A and B are shown apart, each in its own frame.
Chain A
Amino acid sequence: MKRLPGGGFVLAASLTLCTTAASAAAADYAVLLTPARPGLPLAHPIAANDIPPPPLSLVADRPKDPAYVASLPGLPQGRTVVDDYGTKRPKFDGVFIRKSRVENGQVVIPPGGLAYLEDTWGGEVALKGEPMPVLGRMTTYVDYDMSIVVKENVEIPAGQSVAVGGQIYYYYATVGHEQTMNHALHVRTIAGTDWEWAFGNPVLSSTQPGWWGMRFAQLYNQGQAREVGPQKLVFDWLSGVRMDRLLVADERVFAGVARAGQEWQSGTRTIKLAAVDASEGTVKVQVLEGGEIKLERTLGPIRADRLLEDTEARKALVFEEGGVAGFLVPGKTTFRDGGAELKIYGKASSLRYGDTYAGDARFAVYPVGCPTGHNFGFLLVNREEIRIAPGASAQGPEGYFRIAVDRIEGGNVLAWHVEDKAGNRSANLGGPAVSNVDLVLGQGRVAGQALLTDVGRALNVRNYAALEQAQVGSSAANGPSTALLGGLAVLAVALAGVGYELGRRRGGAAAPAVPPAGLRPPSPVAAPARRERREPVEVA
């Protein structure tokens, strides 16, 4: 296999991304895209407009020779959450810095260069009551909006990548065989999640029709190529899903079977179950404020064959109004005991793709979608350039972590570190050959797995060099320390003392010392012995 050259910064101008499917064309694409099985509608609507991905999402923008930090106490790795159905899902905090540099004695991180990722090992599923950490605060993931972005006439030069919706297509390799060849794509998310584990990699070929074709489908990430070669791939169209919005809630108001007329309070809003119609499989919900009806919705019926991911079927169960949200719980026993099973949440808010993050206006938020309709965390990226002088630090979103620069000399960052909210610091990540503060922190699906495909080699080289330097420095600096030499000297003296005492004892056993006269024991028992020793010995 030959890895293709490239890796330069992908300029938008170098790609021909002519048009995003307009709403007029949406109906066409809804037909053109392949559903999971004939007759099944697309689960997500075709996007009416394009929204730029977060800056530095392309493969060429990965961290360069990054430092790696496995964890800090305040940035948990593998924290398991459990949803209402007992499904366990590990969550990870990830922090990435890319395209950083030293300029005029300061560290500069460009817009989008500092990214926090709420990462998850399995897809986050709506309507399950799944806990979702937002910068350490545990919310509940309630619902989402996802759409399919379609772009026409897309060209991907070899070794480069292009964003379509929330997905990144990376023309990775050409594989030759006799006079034929095939071409491999990697499909990633804007966060770096690699879908290879879920769907494999699309392979295209115009010369091996027996093995490969010109079209691929990974659920709603699909494409139709018209020209494939070792220099570039050209697609008639490419589609990619985009997670437009996550609906999360801080407060659980109710979960269980409710009867008509039952009411709940959340802040100034009253939620009322106005009616239950088990025969129709519907309930009527009202949201009131000061006696005025703000929302009245009929929820249901439940379309079990298309849940949970089909937008139309799911939205038929969900209501949302002014910080209050809830849904009719889909299941075989939803209607029972004269009531219906509901879940109601308060303090609900949205994480909307490309919006300013409500908790910290310095950051923009980008949910990360899987073509299944599941969510794979969200990114928070800096909207403005960050500059850090030596001795200063830059705060992550809501001060969740800090990037601190301690010392810069001659264009190199000799000392810098990352620390969590509580002040727990990483090791020094700087050094005489470190010219940026690019970073990979975490052990999630992106930081601990997918991203390593791109940056693992450089990261390991850097870490090994640091390890070597630390060991050499340690042995040179410590050597046999004065304290250690002192300890050994004491040991030598003590051993000599023991040897002397043993020698005295051995000598005493061969020719016992005669106590001085003044120390003679007066004991009669001792006297004969003394006398015996004083008597001359006759030798035959």
Chain B
Amino acid sequence: MIPYRLMLVVFVIAAALYVGVGRTAFTVPANLEEAEACGFTGADFAPSGRIEMPATQAWWTSFVRKQEYWNAFSAGLAAAFAAFALTAMRRLGAAVAGGAAVGGGLLALVALCIGCLAPVLSLAGLGFAVSLLAGIPKWLLAVNTLVLTGWATMFMARRLAACPVACVPAAAH
């Protein structure tokens, strides 16, 4: 009942998209304040007063130090679950599946709030969420996402198992 292949593909695409957008949006910090926000310290600055790393190396350094891999994992999980929920919409009804999909979307948003897009979200008025989530370790958010999406997936799978496609019209009789 659980479309594992679809979820795996969506997971990989979403996680890769998160990483790709992060790399595309990344620019090597020009001053200490920006650098600290990206996980760099004063020691990373070359004597010229700049971070003299190739952009990709600087991004990877920031990615690892900021533990962005947890966010990529969370975003992938949330997107995979949302995809599952959307495919189940016809059988479970728009309310249940739509709610589940929105829940998945919210989990993905949480990943973005604590990730490299946090500054953009702050500008978009989500600064409160960003600061609220800042106190939670990224690994815990990833574990929470895993367990929440796992729970929701099991719940929906059970509902689907109890309600085969063909029975919906029968229930109307």
A residues apposed to B, CB below 8 Å: 70-74, 76-80, 91, 420, 422-425, 478, 481-484, 486-488, 490-491, 494-495, 497-498, 501-502, 504-505, 513, 515, 518-523, 526
Contact = CB atoms under 8 A, between A and B. Distances in A.
A91 B148 CA distance: 55
Contacts, number: 104
Given A73-B45, A519-B167, A522-B166, A490 B31 contact: no
5 contacts: A76-B48, A424-B33, A483-B136, A488-B140, A519-B167
B151 A498 contact: yes
Contacts of B166: 521-523
Contact of A501 (B135, B158, B171): B158
Interface in B39-56: 42-43, 45-50
Interface string B140-173: 1101100110110011001000111011001101
A71 B43 contact: yes
A497 B155 CA distance: 9
B162 A491 contact: no
B151 A483 contact: no
Contacts of A420: 49
A483 B132 contact: yes
**A-B residue pairs, 4 tightest by C-beta:** A79-B47, A483-B135, A76-B47, A424-B32
A233 B165 CA distance: 104
B135 A484 contact: yes
Classify chain B's interface size.
35 or more
A433 to B, nearest CB: 25
A521 B164 contact: yes
Interface string B20-41: 0000000000011100000000
Given A71-B45, A483-B135, 14 more contacts: A76-B46, A424-B42, A484-B140, A487-B140, A490-B148, A494-B148, A497-B148, A498-B147, A501-B158, A515-B167, A519-B162, A519-B167, A521-B166, A522-B167
A501 B155 contact: yes
Interface of B: 31-33, 42-43, 45-50, 132-137, 140-141, 143-144, 147-148, 150-151, 154-155, 158, 162-164, 166-167, 170-171, 173
Contacts of A491: 140, 143-144, 147
Nearest to A483: B135
A425 B36 CA distance: 12
A422 B47 contact: no
A505 B151 CA distance: 12
B136 A487 contact: yes
B147 A73 contact: no
A481 B135 contact: yes
B136 A486 contact: yes
B171 A518 contact: yes
A483 B171 CA distance: 45
A80 B48 CA distance: 10
Contacts of B50: 73
B136 A520 contact: no
A73 B48 CA distance: 8
B162 A513 contact: yes
A132 to B, nearest CB: 14
Contacts of A505: 154, 158
Given A70-B43, A501-B158, A513-B162, A487 B49 contact: no
A487 B43 contact: no
A71 B133 CA distance: 32
A501 B151 contact: yes
A315 to B, nearest CB: 33
B31 to A, nearest CB: 6
Given A422-B49, A483-B135, A491-B144, A71 B150 contact: no
